[in-house]
Amino acid sequence: MVVRVEAQPIALWNSVVRVLFLAVLLTSIVGSGVLAQPSPLRIYWVDVEGGGATLIVAPSGESILVDAGENLDRDVSRVFEVATKVAGLKQIDHFVATHWHADHYGGAITLSTRIPIERYYGSDPLPDKVPEDPQFAKLMPLYKTATKGGSIVLKPGDSLPVRKTPSGPQIELKVLAANRVVMGRPKSPPNPVCSQKAENAADPTENSKSIVLRLTYGKFTFLDAGDLTKAMEERLVCPSNLVGEIDLFQIDHHGLDLSNNPVLIQTIKPRVVVVNNGPQKGAEPNTMKTLFDTPGIQTVWQIHRNLQAGGQVNTAPEFIANQGVDGKADFIQASANPDGSFRVQIGSSGNSKQYKPR
């Protein structure tokens, strides 16, 4: 028998070469970003003094502006500043008017002259009248001109076409309700919280027609329901929970007590709430008490300190973007990861807090 001892060094050398090759390949892949963590999803709440203006920027760079404040230079300039200088956008890809009240769609009229808005969406065809809004007759013709008649009607069950990155997780912006119609729900167990519900009269105003959007990025969830009021809020979670559990919740209707049904909030179990109020609007006592009494809510953030006379309730000062009426207009931003972790911060360098996955 002949033993070929000389082959062993060759085999060992081949193994070393393979290990070195794999190490170089892995270093190259990591350096190229292939194995890097997916980019975060960003959300900005612009201070429009108690109106609505929520800017979402997907990891792909695609942008969705949900509401745009009033058609005032104050609001338009603030939205434009956050969109261009903070978020670095050259255009708004999607603009969603949750409903036809001036403090939600009006700002898009002038904003569209400062930055291109590619697509417009609403809860129904552009209406001819909204009796409770005195600005409607003046603003809607201007809005129709801005959209060139091209507003897309969103229906329950629709999803906005938001691009995902090639290596990133799925991102979905789904319409759960619009124009007082709720999306069909799959068979699921009854919601036990519904046994606590109170009678809430139907709301005939535009508020109850608000588009309800649930954003999902991997395991992270965010809910924006515009100015939805209590009867419609109840329909989202009764007899069963259509919404699911939510990581980050934008308070309904700026925190007014006409909205924010405790049955909704206790069912969706938000971990963090952002109140897009003004100094003299929103963050009302019953709503704030509901938030502070709901188990699992870790932090309530406010755009403004509530300065209304009598009975005002505020979160801790470090979680309020704007403390007074001195003209300061800090925004609040969130940066969310697909594992469900996220961070909320005041402005570009203010107080911040990190939240672990659920």
* Distance set, CA 171 to CA 107, 161, 184, 219 (Å): 27, 10, 21, 10
Classify residue 25: in a domain, yes or no: no
Element (H, E) at 308: none
* Per-residue model confidence (pLDDT) at position 143: 97
Classify residue 20: in a domain, yes or no: no
CATH number, domain at 66? 3.60.15.10
* Per-residue model confidence (pLDDT) at position 283: 97
Classify residue 6: in a domain, yes or no: no
Classify residue 4: in a domain, yes or no: no
Classify residue 23: in a domain, yes or no: no
- Give per-residue pLDDT as tens, 232-271: 999 999 999 999 999 999 999 999 999 999 999 999 999 9
**DSSP annotation of 132:** T
* Per-residue model confidence (pLDDT) at position 28: 45
State how many domains the chain has. 1
- Rounded distance between C-alpha atoms, residue 111 and residue 75, angstroms: 9
Full domain range(s) for residue 336: 39-355
Cα four-point dihedral sign 347, 352, 354, 355 = negative
- Rounded distance between C-alpha atoms, residue 111 and residue 115, angstroms: 6
Placement of tokens 């409903």 in the chain: 99
Exposed/middle/buried for residue 14 (C-beta within 10 Å: 0-12, 13-18, 19+): exposed
Classify residue 17: in a domain, yes or no: no
- Rounded distance between C-alpha atoms, residue 161 and residue 174, angstroms: 10
DSSP string for 21-64: HHHHHHHHHHHHTTTSPPPPEEEEE---TTS--EEEE-TTS-EE
* Per-residue model confidence (pLDDT) at position 38: 78
- Give per-residue pLDDT as tens, 148-204: 988 999 999 999 999 989 888 989 999 999 999 999 988 889 999 999 888 899 999
Classify residue 32: in a domain, yes or no: no
Classify residue 18: in a domain, yes or no: no
Coil, helix or strand at residue 104: helix
Cα radius of gyration (the chain):
24
* Per-residue model confidence (pLDDT) at position 325: 66
Residues in the chain with pLDDT values less than 70: 1-37, 325-326
